Structure formats: structure tokens, C-alpha cells
Structure 1
Amino acid sequence: MTSRSHVVPHPSGGRRLRWRDLPASLQAAVEDRLGGEVVREHIAETGFSPGLASVLVTTGGTCAFVKAAPSDDGSDAARLHRTEARVAGRLPEHLPVPRLLWVLDDGDWVVAAYEAVEGRTPSTPWEPDELAAVLAAVGRIGTTSAAGLGLPDAATALPGLFVGWQNLWEDPDPIVADLAPWAVGRIDELVDLAAGAAAACEGDAVVHGDLRADNLLVTDGGVVVVDWPHAVRGAPFFDVAAFLPSVGMQGIRGRTDPLTGPADLAHRHAVGAELDALFRSSPSAAGADDAQVLPVLAGITAYFLDSGRRPPVLAIPRLRAFQRAQGAAAAAWLEVLIGRAEA
């Protein structure tokens, strides 16, 4: 059972535009592209973008998943929509991703339409069979070459991944003692460890870069992976390493309870050991040893801990709690790996 101290944060930003919120002129332009008047809207209930994220249905029955955001809302959503549209147009057809239909960009608003996928986000706490299907899909991504796709290198595109422990060393915070008590007094060592993350991230695989349950859809035909603005080229194991902390945060039915905050040693070790076993079973982690994984996981852990203590983002009020909870689970996995390395 989930205790009061391990309530799983809702996977959404807390605010989201609806179709009625778009300017009339933009609505008209979208309807022109869709070929009919919008008569129904099905809002995505998860995800952190404050912009529109809805399946729109027209009078003629045409439907599309439409994202829209203004350039001046302070959330960076418009830039991410532009980036995602470029990425979506380049991804190999065999990957389980929605097809980009069209883009409208007038400088003030960015609108991108994708094929509507009939599916749902995975159940959480995770059902073991759904988690296995997701890990298989992540494995297909991690074993896909990024050659010719024009994706940026992970080592240069993810600078925030390498500086979290340095930030926590320069500006100490109780978040470390709360969520990673084993790290107290060892942050200088973790700074040195995470310094190797850039080199360990190098590779030629497609990397989604932001995998969580709210960026996945379970369909009758399998798992579809959505929201690609953070895609990079990097190590095959990166996606599964970055994804598993969210699984530890949300828990696995019948196997591990959620871990979202301070926890005793037994709870931390149970979650950390489970995440490590899942990682080792992933096809995209084949051949990765602790010398590669440890620096990357150290960076991921500190990224979440450092981000989770930052001031709220006004347009995305639930973001920090979600990052903090992911940091708790990532720290539990890192604790297990470091303990094994030192044994």
C-alpha cells in the first residue's frame, strides 16, 4: 500500500489550454487544415505542457491530436513543439510513434497535428505485463541507429545532466539528506562521478530523452511512444536508465511500493534492486557495465534532485513535485549501484 509519505504525484503540469482558449483566427486556420468545424475535444489528462494537447474531431469525422502553444507564455512549449515537429518528420517508420500531419507556425503560435492514436496511458502502479511491453518498445528505440536523422548529441544537448551534484555542492539543500541520506558527506565524490556522464552518454542510438508513463500509450497493437522534443543521439541504454526512476516512483503492482520521498533503508534497497534488475533485462542495456551506467545514473539522480528543489514554474505548477519524486527513486537505484561497486 502507498503510505501517506509516498503519495505519487499526478503526471500533469496542472494547467492546460483547451480548444476554446485559442484565438478565433487560429481556430479558423486549424479547422481549415482539418477540413471541417471542430465539434468535439478529448483533452489529454496527463503531460506537463501547459499548451493545448487534445484530440479534435470535426463535423466530417476527421480527428487529429493537436498541440498548440503561444510563444510568450513563459513555458518554452512553443519552442518544444517546433523541435518535436522537426524530429517527428525524421524518425524511422518502424518506430512506434505517431505520424506528423502538419504544422502551423505564425511566430506567435505554434500548432502541430499528429495522427490520433487510440490508446491509454499505462496503469500505475505499473502492471508487470504493461511494463514488460514498454521496456520492449524502449528496447526497439535503443537499438535503432540515429545515423542521418540530424539529432543532436546527448553529450552536448543535455548539459543539465552533468551539473546537478555540482549545484548541490555549491548550494547545499536538505533535499539530499531527505531523499538520499547515504549521499550526505559524499557530494564531492558524486561530483567527480557525474563528471564522466558526458562521455558515457556518447553513442549512435536514437534516444527519446523524456520517457515516462505519461509519454506512452498502450494500444491494442502495442505501445506507442509520444512527445519527442528532447530526442538526441546517444548511448543505447540512456532511455531505459532515465525512464526507470519514474517506474520506481510509481511502483510495480505486487513487486515494489512507490517511492516518492524519504524512505527507510529496506524500502530504498527494494526499489533500487528492482530497478537494477529491470535495467539489466533490457535489450538496450546489453553490454553496458557499471562503469558506464554509474556516471549517467549519478547525473540523472542529481538532475531530478536539483530540479525538484527549484522555485515552481508558474505555467507548470506540479512539475517540481514530480521531479523531486523521481529523484527519490533514482537515488535509491544509485545507492544500490554504488554499494555494489564498493562491496
Structure 2
Amino acid sequence: MTNSNRTSPPAYLLKLLEDTTGKETVSWHMPDCGLSPAFRFSVMLEDKNKVFVKAATDETTAYWLRNEYLALSTLRGKFMPNIIAWIDIPDIHPVLITQDLSDAYWPASHQGVTWRKGDFELLLDAVQMLSSIEAPPDLPAMKNWGTGIWPSIAENPCPFLQLGLCSEAWFKRSIDALILAESKTDVTGNFLVHGDIRSDNICIEGSQVIFVDWSHAGRGNKHHDLGNLLPTLHLEGGPAPYLVMPEGGVVAASGAAALTQRLLADQSMPEWLKKVFIKLIAIDLEWASQCLGIDLPDEIK
């Protein structure tokens, strides 16, 4: 490696990449993405071509990376990054080398999220295409939870009511409908599920949407990715979920319950994230109300 940019890779990873490509590396840049402890680098090679390197750092990230490689190597869709090399040898955590997408448009960064005109339409079309594909049988199957969350909230509604999302009267009128809708949740199926579609796992190259980080890919319900995406997308300026999925009452009810459970259980959650969760729950509750034919929540802040 002739020089470095921002950070230097571990020595073993430098050697692996240069041995695999047969080229020296010029620079290693850590992109503004990723939440797991896996290594991520955008690397410039001596021939001025770039590659993206993702390396596992423990057994958990190794499992995720092998799952990501399984999805990318089996399907190779237009909405996936191209694989350049896969390294999985004894005594070293696996390494995935793919096409570098740092020059594509990334709507999300640590500075915020900026969607351009027409991006939402491209994204929703891409999600629909992804979700219509039959998943490879070796991908892990999604499984339903054994018990619902709304019944436990109903037993002790005070913490939920203190979030200021609705009045006690609205809760009493609506809880049976929410419980019933959540009970119909079924995430199982044989369709491709990305499992973590959000703005920081999306880039756009020309008119092609590309989804990255396929660590949680699996087989499941064809509406799973879209249902999980819509509330956050609406928070970022996208369409109201009901306009895209008017039949999504079950998804909305279960989504609101899951977010509520996480919010109330995590006492260490920072205040800014709590506010985001409350906004997302409000979006889900409004969406559920529109789909299930119940009154809109009456005290959403």
C-alpha cells in the first residue's frame, strides 16, 4: 500500500486484498455507513479502480457476512452490488469484496437524509421488484412470534399512554382492533426479504436503486420489507403509508406494537432516538386506524 486515506486497514486484511486482486492498494477510506462492528472500506487499487471490502470481526458478523454472500451470489439482481471476490478460509473471519458504490447517490449520511425528486418512485418500484422474487431455499426462513404485544400493553396501558400518542378513551375504543390485527401477523413465506431496508442501506446509480447490507436476508412474506420501510420513509418526506399500502392494517398494528415494546424496554435509549420512535409509532397508529376503520388517534403530539 503506497498511502492511506483517513484510516489504515489491519495488516492481515491489506495482505488478503492485495493477494486476491494481484494489485497494490493506494488508499483505504472508511465510508459513512454501517452499524455493526464489521470492517468496511472503500479501497482504491493501483489501477485506479475501486472495490468495497467488508470483513467480519467476530462469529456474529461472520454469520451475517456468510448470509449476505449467500444472497448476493445466488441471486445477483440489478438491485444488488456485484461480487468481486469471497474469502472464507480457516482461522480468518470471512471477507466479502464487492463493487464500490461510493460514487453513487446516497440519500443518507450522518449529516441527515436527503431524497431527490423522483427517488421515492424509483425506490418503491425497486422494493416491489425485490419482493416479487422467490427466495433461494438456503436463506433462513422468517418465523412468527409466539405471542402478541398489544395484549400485554392492554394489561398495563399507563406507560404507553404516557407517550402522549392518544387519549385513554381512544385506547379503550381501539385496543381490541389493534390486538386482532396484530394476531393476524404472518411474516412467513417464500419470497426474498432484504430484512433491513432503510435509507442508509440504499444508493441510487443513475436510475438504478441498489440495496446494500444483505446480512439479514431471508425467506418470508412479500410485504415485509415494504411494510417496515414505509413509516420511516414517510418520516423522511415520503408518501403516507396508507397511500402505498391501504391493506396494511396488520403490518401497521404489529409495527406500532414492536416499536412501543422496544421504546419502553430500553431505558438507556437517547432522547433524540426516543423522539424518533414516538414519531414512528404515531405514523403506524395513524396507518392502522385508516386501514382498520377506527378513529384516528386524538392526542398525537
Asked if these proteins are the same fold (TM beyond 0.5), I'd say yes
What is the CA–CA distance in structure 2 between the aligned matches of 1:172 and 1:34, rounded to whole Å? 58
Pick the aligned partner of 1:231 from 217, 224, 232: 217
Q: Which residue number corresponds to residue 159 of structure 2?
A: 174
Q: Which runs of 4+ in 1 moved over 6 A?
A: 170-173
Pick the aligned partner of 2:62 from 78, 82, 89: 78
SS of the residue 1:131 aligns to: helix
Flag the structure with higher helix content: 1
Larger radius of gyration: 2
Q: Which residue number corresponds to residue 103 of structure 1?
A: 86
RMSD: 3.3
Asked if residue 132 in structure 1 is aligned to residue 121 in structure 2, the reply is: yes
Whether contact under 8 Å (1:308, 1:321) holds in the other structure is: no
SS of the residue 1:306 aligns to: helix
Q: 1:216 Cα deviation (Å)?
A: 0.6
Q: Which residue number corresponds to residue 44 of structure 1?
A: 31
Asked if residue 277 in structure 1 is aligned to residue 264 in structure 2, the reply is: no
Q: 1:137 Cα deviation (Å)?
A: 0.8
Asked if residue 295 in structure 1 is aligned to residue 250 in structure 2, the reply is: yes
Asked if residue 53 in structure 1 is aligned to residue 40 in structure 2, the reply is: yes
AA partner of residue 183 (structure 2): A
Distance 1:108 1:298, change over 3 A: farther
Q: Which moved more, 1:327-336 or 1:54-63?
A: 327-336
Q: Which residue number corresponds to residue 206 of structure 1?
A: 192
Pick the aligned partner of 1:89 from 65, 73, 84: 73
SS of the residue 1:197 aligns to: coil
Q: 1:68 Cα deviation (Å)?
A: 1.7
Q: 1:175 Cα deviation (Å)?
A: 5.5
Runs of 5+ consecutive residues of structure 1 not aligned to the other structure: 1-17, 253-270, 281-289
Distance 1:176 1:68, change over 3 A: farther
Q: 1:203 Cα deviation (Å)?
A: 3.4
Q: Which residue number corresponds to residue 181 of structure 2?
A: 193
What is the CA–CA distance in structure 1 between the aligned matches of 2:250 and 2:39, rounded to whole Å? 37
Distance 1:108 1:191, change over 3 A: farther
What is the CA–CA distance in structure 2 between the aligned matches of 1:309 and 1:247, rounded to whole Å? 23
Whether contact under 8 Å (1:134, 1:223) holds in the other structure is: yes
For these two proteins, the number of residue pairs brought into alignment is 280
Q: Which residue number corresponds to residue 289 of structure 2?
A: 338
Distance 1:143 1:152, change over 3 A: same
SS of the residue 1:114 aligns to: strand
Asked if residue 64 in structure 1 is aligned to residue 51 in structure 2, the reply is: yes
Whether contact under 8 Å (1:97, 1:226) holds in the other structure is: yes
Q: 1:43 Cα deviation (Å)?
A: 2.5
What is the CA–CA distance in structure 1 between the aligned matches of 2:160 and 2:7, rounded to whole Å? 39
Q: 1:116 Cα deviation (Å)?
A: 1.4
Distance 1:120 1:167, change over 3 A: farther
Distance 1:170 1:153, change over 3 A: farther
Whether contact under 8 Å (2:250, 2:288) holds in the other structure is: no
SS of the residue 1:145 aligns to: coil
* Bigger relative contact order (CA 8 A; separation at least 6): 1
What is the CA–CA distance in structure 2 between the aligned matches of 1:312 and 1:108, rounded to whole Å? 37
Identity %: 24
TM-score (norm: length of structure 2)? 0.77
AA partner of residue 47 (structure 2): G
